Amino acid sequence: MRNRLFILATASFFNILCLMACAQEHAANEKKLSIANSIAQTTILLNNQDAIIPLKSLEKKNIASVSLGFSYSLIFDSLANKYDQVTPFSAAMYKDSVNLNNLEDDLKYYSTIIITLNDVMAQNGKILNFISNTAKHKEVILAVFGDGKSLASFDNLTSPIVWSPQNNEEASMLVPQLIFGGIAAQHKLTKAYSAKYTEGLGFSTTITRLKYTVPEDAGVNTEELNAIDKIANEAIAAKAAPGIVVLVAKDGKVIYNKAF
């Protein structure tokens, strides 16, 4: 009798722990969603007069992502690669190059160059020259993170700019999705940052591809998806499959994407 009570008590304890963990994960995702929505409301698309964004006809493009000192390039590139094969480059690998000519040379076989940088690097003369030179021969998309004052450095640039005032992990997950059409650009500058980038400026786009987000963004509690892990692991243990990749999408949003 005592053993049964002990087993029941232990089982109840672990069930409570599981429920608490699920509740915490749900709350964490709700917070992530709130932060992401806040960042989306301040992310602006500029210079899209030729409707380059969202990127189209990906099968005809050869895309490179160039980090010019951007701290969250790995996250950015990870999201970009969910839409198409994107080859990463980092200016840090060319630090001994006086004017980044070697980097330009390595990009010669790519048709579309997505450049990521923060507001500090936007003041660097060598980097500005690289951007200007690359834009003369390639389809360039600039992703700028940080203080909007840096936009003044690009008054002469006609290539699309996606600007986020936030320079963090959440912004690095959102901006590539805007570039590829997973989310829409909807907002405008709330004040002037230069002679060109003035209050009220900003282009709107429509959603053309899937968005990668937390389940709560589609009205689903994360807890409801936990059973997928158990089923997949049981199938592999029973040798019903050597491995499983599960993708769950709802309302145009990928809310679960995991390989076992």
Whether 162 and 223 share a structural domain: no
Residue 2, beta-bridge partner list: none
Whether 10 and 52 share a structural domain: no
Residue 114 DSSP one-character state: E
Whether 51 and 164 share a structural domain: yes
Q: How many domains does the chain have?
A: 2
C-alpha distances out from residue 79 to 36, 116, 190, Å: 14, 13, 28
pLDDT band of residue 17 (cuts 50, 70, 90) is very low
Whether 220 and 106 share a structural domain: no
C-alpha 232: how far from its chain's center? Answer: 27
Whether 164 and 48 share a structural domain: yes
Of the CA atoms within 13 Å of residue 211, those in its CB half-sphere come to 23
Whether 63 and 181 share a structural domain: yes
Whether 240 and 113 share a structural domain: no
| Residue 136, pLDDT above cutoff 80 | yes
Whether 71 and 183 share a structural domain: yes
Sheet strands (E) in 123-192: 139-145, 161-164
Q: What angle do CA 40, 117, 62 make, to 5 degrees?
A: 90
Under 8 Å between Cβ of 238 and 260:
no
CA dihedral 105→106→108→114, nearest 10 degrees, is -120
Whether 132 and 54 share a structural domain: yes
pTM exceeding the 0.85 threshold for the entire prediction:
yes
pLDDT tens digits, 185-233: 999 999 999 999 999 999 999 999 999 999 999 989 888 888 888 887 8
pLDDT tens digits, 64-101: 999 999 999 999 999 999 999 999 999 999 987 778 99
Whether 179 and 101 share a structural domain: yes
CA–CA separation, 86 vs 63, rounded Å?
A: 5
Whether 27 and 111 share a structural domain: no
CATH code (residue 187): 3.40.50.1700
Residue 150 DSSP one-character state: G
| pLDDT (0 to 100) of residue 90 | 96
* 182's tokens: 């997973």
Whose CA is closest to 147, among 134, 166, 130? 166
Under 8 Å between Cβ of 188 and 200:
yes
Longest Cα–Cα distance of the chain, Å, equals 82
- Final residue of a domain: which of 193, 209, 225? 209
| Residue 2, pLDDT above cutoff 60 | no
Whether 108 and 201 share a structural domain: yes
- Domain of 196? 41-209
- Final residue of a domain: which of 175, 191, 209? 209
